[in-house]
Amino acid sequence: MERLYEVMFIVRPDVADEDVDKLVAGFETTVTNGGGSVKSSEKMGRRKLAYTVRKFNDGNYVLLTIEADGKVVAELERRLRVTEQVIKFITVRIDEEEKRLAKVKALRASRKKRSAEPAPAPAAPEVEAAPVAAEPAEATV
């Protein structure tokens, strides 16, 4: 069953851009050979890390969005783990989140549609004539 995943990994800062491109192409090939598809590949550039990882304080971030089954993702993670240039990675399944967001958007759209429709004009409330109290009689002394 094909699911949607985001794979973020950080490449050592001393790796050349051409080598990063080759690395990304190799991971994309792993996904496509396994029967999955790469939806997008984004090089986010060099950024500072929140904490030191393998004696590095910054790294080159890469984000892959893939559609694949669990076996392909497991193979990709195995390759990420054994690749020396990759210092950190994380894989997140996002298809459930997209379903939830679509549901929320549909709900908001239906609410917006209802609020955009003109409300029926309220009927004028019928006022009953209140009994008028007689004026109090003047007291004589």
Residue 96 clears pLDDT 80, i.e. is over it: yes
Mean pLDDT value across the chain: 88
pLDDT in tens, 14-59: 999 999 999 999 999 999 999 999 999 999 999 999 999 999 999 9
Domain assignment of residue 10, given as a range = 3-97
4 compared with 1, residue with greater pLDDT: 4
Structural domain count of the chain: 1
Query: Under a CB-based contact definition with an 8 Å cutoff, are residues 10 and 33 in contact?
Result: no
pLDDT in tens, 98-139: 888 889 999 998 888 888 776 566 666 666 666 666 666 666
Residue 107 within a domain: no
Between CA 16 and CA 114 the distance in angstroms is: 55
**CATH code, domain carrying 73:** 3.30.70.60
Q: Please tell me the pTM assigned to this model.
A: 0.71
Question: What pLDDT is stored for residue 121 in this prediction?
Answer: 62
